[in-house]
Structure 1
Amino acid sequence: MVQALTALQIAHIVEGKLQGDHPGLISRVSIDSRQILQPEATIFVALRGAKADGATFIPQLLKEGIACFLIHEDQPIVDGAAFIKVPDTKIALQKLAAFQRKQFEKPVIGITGSNGKTIVKEWLGQLLSQQYSVAKSPKSYNSQVGVPLSVFEIQSYHQVAILEVGVSKKGEMAALETIAKPNLGIFTNIGSAHDSGFSSTLEKIEEKAQLFRNSDLIIYCKDLKEVAQVLERQFPDEKLISWSDQAGADFTRSIKTQNGVSKIFLMKSDLSTYTFQTGLSDNASLENLTNTIIASLTLGVDAHKIQEGISNLRQVDMRLTLKPGINESLLIDDTYNNDLAGLRVALDFMRQQRPKNRKILILSDFKQQGQPKKIYPEVSRLINSHEIDLVIAVGEEIQAIEEIIDADFSTFKSTSELNQSLKAEDFASDLILITGAREYGFEKVVNHLQQRIHGTTLEINLNALTHNFNFYKRKLKTDTKVMVMVKAFAYGGGATEIANHIQQMGADYLAVAYTDEGVALRKQGIRLPIMVLNPMAESFQLCKTFDLEPVVFSLEFFEQLAQWTSSESHSMKIHLDLDTGMHRLGFEKVHLLDLIPLIKRNPQLEIASIYTHLVGADEEIHSSFSIQQLALFSEMSQAILQNLSYKPILHALNSAGIVAFPEHQLDMVRLGIGLYGVEVTGKYTSELQSISTLKTTISQIKSLEEGETVGYSRKGVMAKPGKIGTLAIGYADGYDRRFSNGKGFVLIHGQKAPVIGNVCMDMVMVDISDIDAKPGDEAIIYGPEISLKELADQIGTIPYELLTNISTRVKRVYYLD
């Protein structure tokens, strides 16, 4: 915070009622009970959300020393602390942030748009930090809560602040503009994100443009016609700084690319010119870089300094990434980041991972952050609060933390010296966070410690997973439990990491197909109750040892399990599968006469839940049959409940059922394919986010003449002279052979490249005749830009099959964007 405040001052700012007393000054704001560094100087804001009510953590936080709380007016208080009561804690948080923003009198840059916001923010931060102390939004903290939290990261010693601001529906920007109040605005590209929250693209642009209503200057690309239309209508010319690839803008841009180097020429309207060069070549990166350069020039950064900064930029996803490391270790790659706000986010992400042997932090000096005497004690507090076991530091200034951290410590003067010292045998099942200033090139450390697997990767967006979970959670009653299906390697996404993430999100149950899947989750520290859908008699001991709950689906299986548990003098939770129409597994109505006496004779088998599976919830044509199933399930389950002295959980709805039959939620729902971004009813397709991107690289490019053939059996024939690219993926990786001969396509630089010839075991060839590509370039197999449903329809299958077919040899990478 820029200015420390008393509890009474905060109450006045947020227009709340203060009850109790806090003797000191508040200089920190927290909304997360796990992120408390200085409890005596912290106010905890109890937000209410889809996952939890922050007020439930107040008793725990009182024990930890928090003595000031911002709560809803209907919450009770306790003695010994200050409580500020308000009608809405989120609005109060925003008011407090707006006050803090007013105390910062130096330049604030606000960035909005649909695409490129985070990249422009990060790149601009890197360029400006060469001569200024810069505060910027951590990661993608651009929401109604994220923007206030970003403002609280601004300190009095910062010389410039960069805030990323986003909205998802009409009416949200007014509150954020009051908080951010940018002096300089940047409007990036506009895309389809959050289209469902607006009636048109123009309405979305108009909403976002409200961020700049009090700005002095606004940077935008005049070639984005709709963006230009809105800005030029709403703001006077003297506030607008436009750039274009055509004449007539404040900056006219031209680009020449040769031998992997792009030269950017910018001519101002007064005919002064600037030239910059970069290794970036794709249109999106060059557009983002142009916004970054013009903003830097506008803020008075020397062109030579800008070029120096550009030389250190790289085309990288600005995100936290979880990667498999050597000797069963996990790496958190945060190598582009080097500020306190980002370190807090990265350490919190580290805390949320499954338990490992040691927690290791590799970090560099904090370059251009200003006032080392304030920075490094804060770094030390973060390290100590997150219980890091080993800190490996690179640089000179960072050595200042050695005497004030609780962790083991080693230091190196350079990254090369560090890399030479790293030995595989020094790491075993560790959790390693790698974060540092760009100039240290810590990606070399990541490469050194990364597990060597297949070059093709399946990237899992954990933010999208959270979004989808909360989408379904909002459709449920507050007391409806959620069971998440992580069978089949979590629909191909990797069961352990996804199970860990949804455990953090507040799921109530997990379901796996086979006992060994549940055992693997338990061995990796997953604590949630786990239902096993297809247990075998041979696995009873494993269910006991690892606290797994088998589904019982037949009289014979019930008797087997009952006999085993009796002989072992062991009780076990079980789940009853009732067959109401699927006719796959489960008890039919006729079986109840024998089942109920079995249940009575075997109290050691505690029925945790009773469930059924809807056959056609995803298709409206089967609605009447689904209703019949639900009615039969109610009848059968009630017959069982009448003979029990306790109440098991009842559940019938899968992802499609949650959407189609919300009135039949019962006690719990089972969330499967919807969590992974596929809405099978088609009603809310635009509301879900694709969580996974399967990508590979071009191994080689060949030029072929008309009539030449490609691949096995000469199935691919060149219709005209052109080029093919060979990709490092085949049917052994899960890329279906039915995509052969033009049925499938990939995206390279945003352009479609159709498959030519047969898909091979480890490779596939695509036609890139009309694409400017080179070996090593990325090819997207599926992801947000390529619909899984579209691909599945092409070969007559369903998205489930494409997801679950991805081979385990394909490396899974998890990230927060």
Structure 2
Amino acid sequence: MNFSLIQISQIIHASYNSISQTTNINWRLEIDSRHIHYPEQTIFVALPGTHHHGIQFIPDLIKKGVKVFIIDQDIPYEDNVTYLKVDKCLTAIQELAIAHRNKFIIPCIGITGSNGKTIIKEWLSQIVQQNYSVCKNPKSYNSQLGVALSVLQLLDNHEIGIFEAGISQMNEMNQLREMIQPSIGILSNLGDAHDSGFEDRKAKLKEKIELFKNCKYFYYPGNDNWLHENLKHDTNARSWGVSENNNSKIILGNANSNGLVVKIIHNQNSYDFHLPFSDSASIENFIPCILCSLDLGLSQESIQSGFSQLQSFRMRLEHKEGINNCLLINDSYSLDINSLLISFQQADQYNKTLERVLFITDFPDSKNENENHNRLIQLINKYKFTRIIGVGSSIRSISTQLDRNTKFHSYSTTEELLNNLDQLQIKNNLILIKGARIFRLERVFEELSLSNHESILEINLKSIAHNISVYKSFLNPSTQIIAVVKASAYGSGQYEVARYLEHLGVHMLAVAYQDEAIHLRNKGIQCPIMVMNSGLSDFEKLSENNIDSVIFSLPQLQRMIQEVSHNTEHRIHIKLDTGMNRLGFKSSDLVELIQVLLDNQYLKVISIFSHLSGSDSSDYFDFTQQQYSSFTEAYKQISKSLLYDPKAHILNSGGISIHPTMQLDIVRLGIGMYGIDNNPKIIPQLEKAHRLKTKITQIKKVSSSDKISYSLSGQLNSDGRIAVLSIGYADGLPRSAGIKNYQVNIKGIKCKIIGAVCMDMCMIDVSHIQDVQVGDEVEIFGLHSSIEELSHVTGRIPYEILCGISARVKRVFVEE
């Protein structure tokens, strides 16, 4: 972004204290204080965040050399620092993006729709970058802020921009259009995502196509009859589809395991392509990529060549445990400087203690090879990667420019690397895998993964963050959150979830037992941790690891006093039993409890709490009120005697939205973080964080007379086909799910489980699906079938289902 500070102040309508720098500089706009690479060229924008405000980081940034800040609040000014005061920081970033975009006279493709935006953007970029230097959104940066930051990445060498735009309510698209300024548009589809933000479907369509207001034309799927009916009179709209009345006609050939042959009649010319996928969703994403590529002048051969590099993109980073005590981050689906920086930042946040190893390939954009390599070396040094494994020919050139303590290993192909992987002896490392699509480095990820079972439990970390924000909307700003990660974070994977929650800034973590807490400390978790069942714990060991003990009985308290040093402060939490009749002090214990605490003042009471028996149901409202009253009376009695006020908490996930007046100082959030709650008023606001999926192992024909599974428990109503899945009750799928005809999902189509679930497998009816194949993905619960539905069918609760998913099922953590 090349402007003088005077120009920038005019663009964003800012007042300022002083400007010493009057020349044009290639400024870097930054919003994350942790990732400042060039402080003398940085303008830091102090945005408000969910957990922090950017203003609080300004003093530290000044010490690091940052001298220019955009703010929207009054703060004390320091000498020799420029403060640009605006009404709203986000608007200032958008105004800079518009001014920066105005400097470039290049074609831009704008993409919007309910689904598929990111896939289309990535596929189209992969195809056209053979002929053009492309600037695009990193990952799914399609929000008001994400688009602005993406457009600001435009450089003089870029020849085309490909940007996606996402909206969730009215009056959002105009600003996105001004930043992107598309000349060609793509409307991927129009589904029900974000329906609540619009009056009706027509209103949503009208807002979406505002992006294309100044486009020469935009493409949309004419197979959608409603969409076609509402757009056919729009002079800028061009439809594609199988019928004759579309602007571009699509003729689908026969599908097989290698993909699909398709003929496209476009601008009176006929083209034949072989698509590497045959499912309807991929076809819907492919066609506009082909049409835009043709419009940009790419030949049929060039487009077909681009297909060879495409796979079913995962536009999210994957985290999971690896072999030899390693932690893995997989981002092997694209490689450019912008996404590379994001990957390094994610790795830095993921773990601070392990030595770091980078798997990296040649860059696909050979036009800027030297610049890419220089930037890569800077990132390697800044984020302290000590070992680099390069794949390809050109990546070798960085070896001579690395720090002498950084080890470099070179392989010509991914196959050569895989054949020699054991010789690298990688252990106790944080491993970032980042590569161009053509190298298929996900094979390295799979090889280094701790488990290679076909079944996967996918945990979406961004959904966890979203759900926490939903619950926070019921709380006062001062109310703190204890995140409960017991039972391996409800079966999700304790360290990965804990690490992410620590990054989000939760006040404290809670676990059930000592070994869980020590495991987190050994993994590098630094935030406060409380052990909720410390009855048989080694109290001295807990104190040595800076772990808080929950005290719930007089004998347990006396044992702690005997075991720990009296010369050191020890943090404890007092649990009261107000009616659950589980762990906790009864009211009759309080006088003696208080006396023991007064006699042993090296025991610091951090909080006093209790547990509600029925907070998630209005049926138990009176009993919940009774428990709350008993707790507050007991709390007053204890705190009055101690002469200080420990924190108080009683609400768990289920109670936060139903009883917000009982929030006190802290709430405990557990299962709700994953989008599970009994309150119908909050359920629509939450996002499911879990997706359990597996693959088809075999497909076979069966007759209506054939018996299926143990005890002859299953049978089809007519002759058909069944698929055998690689998941059973040993993986956590209840045996009764088949007997009760629970339905799993393939490509959006429901399929019944037939017969009892076996230990390692189960069988489903796929008679009604035409293109099902061995290796196809099957969702057990997640996007299409809810965990609540599985719980209801099998007579269990969601907690039980999640905690019952066995360790052999791979946990994969994804982050948008």
- TM superposition score normalised by structure 1: 0.96
Deviates most, 367-376 or 722-731: 367-376
The question of whether the paired residues in 1 share the 8 Å contact of 2:140 and 2:315 is answered with no
Aligned to 2:808: 809
Matches within 5 A, 1:209-358: 209-232=209-232, 236-237=234-235, 239-268=236-265, 271-358=268-355
Matches within 5 A, 1:295-694: 295-368=292-365, 370-406=367-403, 407-423=406-422, 426-565=425-564, 569-694=567-692
Q: Secondary structure at the match of 2:138?
A: coil
Instruction: State the one-letter code of the partner of 1:391.
Output: I
Alpha-carbon distance in structure 1 between the residues aligned to 2:168 and 2:138: 19
Deviation at 1:672, TM superposition (A): 1.0
Give the aligned CA root-mean-square deviation in angstroms. Answer: 1.9
Deviation at 1:420, TM superposition (A): 3.2
Q: Secondary structure at the match of 1:166?
A: coil
Structure 1 pair 627/413, CA: closer, same or farther in 2 (3 Å)? same
Deviates most, 324-333 or 446-455: 446-455
The question of whether the paired residues in 2 share the 8 Å contact of 1:609 and 1:650 is answered with yes
Q: Secondary structure at the match of 1:103?
A: coil
Deviates most, 113-122 or 656-665: 656-665
In structure 1, list runs of 5 or more residues that go unmatched. Answer: none
Structure 1 pair 412/453, CA: closer, same or farther in 2 (3 Å)? closer
Deviates most, 187-196 or 684-693: 187-196
Alpha-carbon distance in structure 2 between the residues aligned to 1:18 and 1:106: 33
Deviation at 1:425, TM superposition (A): 5.7
Q: Secondary structure at the match of 1:390?
A: strand
The question of whether the paired residues in 1 share the 8 Å contact of 2:330 and 2:445 is answered with yes
Alpha-carbon distance in structure 1 between the residues aligned to 2:802 and 2:774: 27
Matches within 5 A, 1:761-780: 761-772=759-770, 773-780=772-779
Aligned to 2:138: 138
Deviation at 1:550, TM superposition (A): 1.5
Q: Deviations over 1:223-267 (max 9, x none)?
A: 22344445446xx42x22210122201111121234324434344
Alpha-carbon distance in structure 2 between the residues aligned to 1:12 and 1:400: 44
Deviates most, 469-478 or 575-584: 469-478
**1:735 aligns to 2:733 (yes or no):** yes
Structure 1 pair 269/386, CA: closer, same or farther in 2 (3 Å)? closer
Structure 1 pair 403/357, CA: closer, same or farther in 2 (3 Å)? same
Aligned to 1:108: 108
Aligned to 2:724: 726
Q: Deviations over 1:92-137 (max 9, x none)?
A: 1111111111112111111111111111111011001111111110
Deviation at 1:718, TM superposition (A): 2.7
Deviates most, 412-421 or 479-488: 412-421
Matches within 5 A, 1:126-205: 126-205=126-205
The question of whether the paired residues in 1 share the 8 Å contact of 2:509 and 2:528 is answered with yes
Work out which of the residue numbers 749, 753, 756 in structure 1 matches 2:754.
Answer: 756
Deviates most, 594-603 or 38-47: 594-603
Structure 1 pair 258/195, CA: closer, same or farther in 2 (3 Å)? closer
Alpha-carbon distance in structure 1 between the residues aligned to 2:398 and 2:62: 29
Structure 1 pair 539/771, CA: closer, same or farther in 2 (3 Å)? farther
Instruction: State the one-letter code of the partner of 1:376.
Output: H
Alpha-carbon distance in structure 1 between the residues aligned to 2:125 and 2:481: 41
Instruction: State the one-letter code of the partner of 2:357.
Output: I
Instruction: State the one-letter code of the partner of 2:444.
Output: V
In structure 2, list runs of 5 or more residues that go unmatched. Answer: none
Work out which of the residue numbers 706, 712, 716 in structure 2 matches 1:708.
Answer: 706
Structure 1 pair 267/277, CA: closer, same or farther in 2 (3 Å)? closer
Alpha-carbon distance in structure 2 between the residues aligned to 1:126 and 1:726: 35
The question of whether the paired residues in 1 share the 8 Å contact of 2:724 and 2:762 is answered with yes
Deviation at 1:403, TM superposition (A): 4.0
Deviation at 1:351, TM superposition (A): 0.8
Deviation at 1:518, TM superposition (A): 0.7
Deviation at 1:595, TM superposition (A): 1.7
Alpha-carbon distance in structure 2 between the residues aligned to 1:326 and 1:439: 25
Structure 1 pair 711/263, CA: closer, same or farther in 2 (3 Å)? closer
The question of whether the paired residues in 2 share the 8 Å contact of 1:26 and 1:43 is answered with no
Alpha-carbon distance in structure 2 between the residues aligned to 1:207 and 1:580: 53
Alpha-carbon distance in structure 2 between the residues aligned to 1:203 and 1:802: 40
Alpha-carbon distance in structure 1 between the residues aligned to 2:517 and 2:704: 54
Alpha-carbon distance in structure 1 between the residues aligned to 2:49 and 2:556: 42
Q: Secondary structure at the match of 2:564?
A: helix
The question of whether the paired residues in 2 share the 8 Å contact of 1:574 and 1:606 is answered with yes
Instruction: State the one-letter code of the partner of 1:247.
Output: E
The question of whether the paired residues in 2 share the 8 Å contact of 1:701 and 1:725 is answered with yes
Deviates most, 726-735 or 552-561: 552-561
Alpha-carbon distance in structure 2 between the residues aligned to 1:464 and 1:141: 16
Q: Secondary structure at the match of 1:389?
A: strand
Instruction: State the one-letter code of the partner of 1:791.
Output: L
Instruction: State the one-letter code of the partner of 1:315.
Output: S
Instruction: State the one-letter code of the partner of 1:35.
Output: H
Instruction: State the one-letter code of the partner of 1:210.
Output: E
The question of whether the paired residues in 1 share the 8 Å contact of 2:248 and 2:267 is answered with no
Deviation at 1:625, TM superposition (A): 2.7
Deviation at 1:372, TM superposition (A): 2.7
Structure 1 pair 564/145, CA: closer, same or farther in 2 (3 Å)? same
Q: Percent identity between the aligned chains?
A: 39
**1:35 aligns to 2:35 (yes or no):** yes
Instruction: State the one-letter code of the partner of 2:53.
Output: D
Q: Deviations over 1:553-577 (max 9, x none)?
A: 12222222223225x6443211111
The question of whether the paired residues in 1 share the 8 Å contact of 2:446 and 2:452 is answered with no
The question of whether the paired residues in 1 share the 8 Å contact of 2:540 and 2:564 is answered with no
The question of whether the paired residues in 2 share the 8 Å contact of 1:689 and 1:784 is answered with no
Alpha-carbon distance in structure 2 between the residues aligned to 1:240 and 1:184: 10
Deviation at 1:785, TM superposition (A): 1.5
Alpha-carbon distance in structure 1 between the residues aligned to 2:641 and 2:441: 63
Instruction: State the one-letter code of the partner of 1:590.
Output: S
Q: Deviations over 1:324-381 (max 9, x none)?
A: 3221212221111111111011111111112353211111222226333333222222
The question of whether the paired residues in 2 share the 8 Å contact of 1:28 and 1:43 is answered with yes
Alpha-carbon distance in structure 2 between the residues aligned to 1:226 and 1:624: 51
Structure 1 pair 171/651, CA: closer, same or farther in 2 (3 Å)? farther
Q: Deviations over 1:420-475 (max 9, x none)?
A: 33226620021111112222232333333333432211111112122112222333
Deviates most, 130-139 or 530-539: 530-539
The question of whether the paired residues in 1 share the 8 Å contact of 2:451 and 2:808 is answered with no
Alpha-carbon distance in structure 1 between the residues aligned to 2:331 and 2:412: 20
Structure 1 pair 543/73, CA: closer, same or farther in 2 (3 Å)? closer
Q: Secondary structure at the match of 1:507?
A: coil
Structure 1 pair 697/80, CA: closer, same or farther in 2 (3 Å)? same
Q: Secondary structure at the match of 2:561?
A: helix
